[in-house]
Amino acid sequence: SVPFLQAARKRNSLDLLELSEAELEEQFVRGDGPGGQATNKTNNCVVLKHVPSGIVVKCHQTRSVEKNRKIAREILQEKVDLFYKGEDSDVFKDKKAAEKQKQEKKRRARENLERKKLFKEMQQLDKE
């Protein structure tokens, strides 16, 4: 289930499972990373756990506790949706579609590079 969880954090998903506050455990801890005193002295990092599934999300994207709480809930909702629905989840389908687009873009770039090489070779032959 680890690859499914990596697909989380897509904004376009509309059909997600609802989370009830009774299923959540919330903690506020000190964040880590850059930020110096602002990070080391404030407990604005949110750790949110979905008890039935055991999924834990840690969010320290902003200095605001309220914004971090909201972001953590969005991320957790998407991960729980992936956990229960698997490949039927909208988040998973979006991730697969994005991967497919990326592969198609790489394929076109390779084809263009090959065309350019052939064109240069033809120019070299014409000069000789």
Q: How many CB atoms lie within 10 A of CB 117?
A: 10
User: On the CB side of 34, how many CA atoms lie within 13 Å of its CA?
Assistant: 0
The pLDDT tens digits for 55-72 are: 999 999 888 899 999 999
For 11-36, what is each residue's pLDDT tens digit? Answer: 554 577 778 888 899 999 988 777 77
* Residue keyed to tokens 């850059």: 34
Residue tagged 């033809």 (tokens): 122
Indicate yes or no: pTM above 0.85: no
Structure tokens at 48: 């949110």
